[in-house]
Amino acid sequence: MSAADWYLTLTGVFGDKYGVHVVACYVITLLGLGLLALIVVSANARARRELETLDQERSR
Amino acid sequence: MSIWRYANPAEFMGLTGKLMTPVWVLMALVLLPGLYWGLMLTPNADLFGSSVKILFVHVPTAFIAIQAYLVMAIASAIGIVRRQPVSFLVAKAAAPIGAVFTLLAIATGAIWGQPTWGTWWVWDARLTAILIMFFFYLGYMALWAAIEEPEKAADLSAVLCLVGVVFAFLSRYAVEFFPTLHQAASLSVESGQRVDDVYRTPLYICMAGFSLLFVALLLVRTRTEIRLRRARALRLRAGAYA
Amino acid sequence: MSGLLALARRDIALALRLGGGGAIAVAFFVLVAVLVPIGVGAEAGALMRVAGGLIWIAALLAVLLSLDRLFQADHEDGSLDQIMLAPLALEQVVLAKALAHWLTTGLPMTLVSPLLGLMLALPGDVLLVLTLSLAIGTPALSLIGAVGAAITVGVRRGGLLLSILVLPLYVPTLVFGARSVEAALVALDPVPALALGGVITLISAALAPFAAAAALRINAA
């Protein structure tokens, strides 16, 4: 479907003209928080790996 | 032993390590059904049509944006009073999460406001205060990044946060001066309007779900900060910065 | 008290001697205000409406630019350490420096403001309110600025960071100052806004010395 078709489909999805806005809000929120979670969790994993490496070097 | 034992980094890591999975699972169990309920199972409103469903993401994100700020302030105060590094790190961890929630609250508010009230933004009390709070988050994070010694950065950021809390309160009530002279229409749904019961329960569920998400992210981020600090200490001891 | 005044006098003398640190702030203030009709257009009605807020914003920016004078210079040449060793309480030091700062920036700007108000088409009775609002609010700018300056004193090239930290804190003062002028413009009572501006200043005077002193101690450690 073209972009215009998508827009029209989403607009009517809840039966009135606000559909696109509702979907946009949910998508933005979930994507935004998902991205944040991804960054936070991967930064944590990286920090843990780095700490393990340093601990190993120390005990060597 | 009191709750203060968790101010010890090792104890904190131990406790939160055990809590992580339960918190994530609980969050998913609460938030996902809540969002589905709000999005799919509630009726369209009389006045705003289906846009009322934005309530279920906008109100929780705004609520948490402010809660994160309070968490920062309380953690900063505890850190200063009890000289506990972990408290400072909790505050540091809360800032980027709070900033993202604030941004999302502003974005969803604007997308909601545009079709329903015809404008993306208005300078009423609440919106202006939220925007200033966002810049405050940025300033706080910038300060942490600008100072090299961790202890100094922690203490100075705590001072900034506490001063900011005072002025946040003052701003909040100062900015309410706008309507008395401008007759700006109040756009905040949370304040003026009664939320119908059919929306209230899913709203509370979503708020609980987002709160759990905030807690989960906060715990992970704090654990990261603790690890980074320990890594830095180890590197210093090994003479990396000699 | 005498120690406090002596320190204030020293700071004022330094500000005046070093090529008018305060004069530059006032010049900047005037310059920004002059830019307003150039940018906004010279139509009196439009100018009048924005004059209060824009003059206040000009004041904020001018004060921001001069904040590094508070502690930075002394920090760089080591005299801040000397001052901290003196028998004067650090909170009093902060108060003295903020006072000196206001006397060399806020006060001159306040005195010049009626002229600027005239340039921006403000009617006569509103000019008085403008001047009063600045007189009441600019001390808060110096005091709150002192907190920001104390926090960032150790940061190299911390000027921009200082601005980011301090501007959100300036918002209440800005709101009450600008709103009082606006109220006078539409023949409403400006006294509530002026009074609340005064409250902000008093709260700043009570809190800023402690916060700034704490920050200075942390930075000196």
The angle formed by the CA atoms of residues C38, C44 and C46, to the nearest 5 degrees, is 75
- How many angstroms separate the Cα of B156 from the Cα of each of B70, B143, B147, C136, C157? 17, 8, 9, 29, 17
Residue B183: band (very low, low, confident or very high) from pLDDT cuts 50, 70, 90 = very low
* Residue pLDDT, tens place only, B31-87: 999 998 888 888 877 777 788 888 899 999 999 999 999 999 999 999 999 998 999
A44 vs B58: CB contact, 8 Å cut-off? no
Longest dimension (CA), chain A: 67
Of the candidates B53, B108, B231, the beta carbon closest to that of A28 is on B108
- Chains touching chain C at 3 or more Cβ pairs under 8 angstroms? B
The runs of H, that is alpha helices, within chain C are 2-17, 21-40, 44-66, 68-76, 79-85, 90-104, 106-119, 124-151, 159-185, 191-220
Whether residue B190 has pLDDT greater than 50: no
Q: Which positions 146-205 of C are in contact with B (Cβ < 8 Å)?
A: 147, 151-152, 154-155, 158, 161, 164-165, 167-169, 171-172, 175-176, 179, 182-183, 186, 188, 193, 196, 200, 203
The tens digit of pLDDT for each residue in C201-220 reads 999 999 999 999 999 999 98
The pLDDT value recorded for residue B181 is 39
**Predicted local confidence at residue C1, as pLDDT:** 74
Query: Do residues C4 and C95 lie in contact, with contact meaning Cβ atoms separated by under 8 Å?
Result: yes
User: How large is the ipTM?
Assistant: 0.90
C-alpha–C-alpha distance, residues B62 and B191, integer Å: 13
pLDDT at B191: 43
Q: What is the pLDDT of residue B180?
A: 43
Is pLDDT at B216 greater than 50 in this prediction?
yes
Predicted local confidence at residue B185, as pLDDT: 38
**Using an 8 Å Cβ cutoff, are C64 and C126 in contact?**
no
List the single residue in B with minimal CA-CA distance to C199: B170
Q: What angle do CA A18, A20, A24 make, to 5 degrees?
A: 120
Q: Which of C164, C207, C214 sits opposite B166 (nearest CB)?
A: C207
pLDDT of residue B117: 74
- Tokens representing A30 are 């979930």
Q: Do B174 and C196 touch (CB under 8 A)?
A: yes
What is the reported pLDDT for A54?
87
Percent of chain A with pLDDT over 90: 47
Chain B positions in Cβ-Cβ contact with residue C221 (cut-off 8 Å): 152
Q: Which residue of B has its CA nearest to C158?
A: B146
Look at residue B178 in the predicted model and tell me its pLDDT.
55
| Rounded Cα–Cα distance for residues B134 and B131 (Å) | 5
Q: Return the higher-pLDDT residue of C173 and A10.
A: C173
- Contacts with B118 from chain A: Cβ below 8 Å: none
d(CA A31, CA A23): 12
pLDDT tens-place string over residues B3-36: 777 778 888 998 899 999 999 999 999 999 999 8
Q: Is B58 on the interface with A (CB under 8 A)?
A: yes
Nearest beta carbon to residue B220 from set A19, A40, A58 = A40
Touching B (3+ Cβ pairs <8 A), the chains are: A, C
Best CA proximity match to B20, nearest among A45, A55, C163: A45
Greater model confidence, B130 or C201: C201
Low-confidence ranges of chain C (pLDDT < 50): none
Q: Note whether A28 contacts B: Cβ–Cβ < 8 A.
A: yes
- At residue B136 the predicted structure's pLDDT band, cuts being 50, 70 and 90, is very high
Residue B92 sits at the chain A interface (C-beta within 8 Å) = no
Contact B181 C211 (CB under 8 A): no
Is the model's pLDDT at B187 over the cut of 50? no
Q: Which of B162, B171, B181 sits opposite C171 (nearest CB)?
A: B171
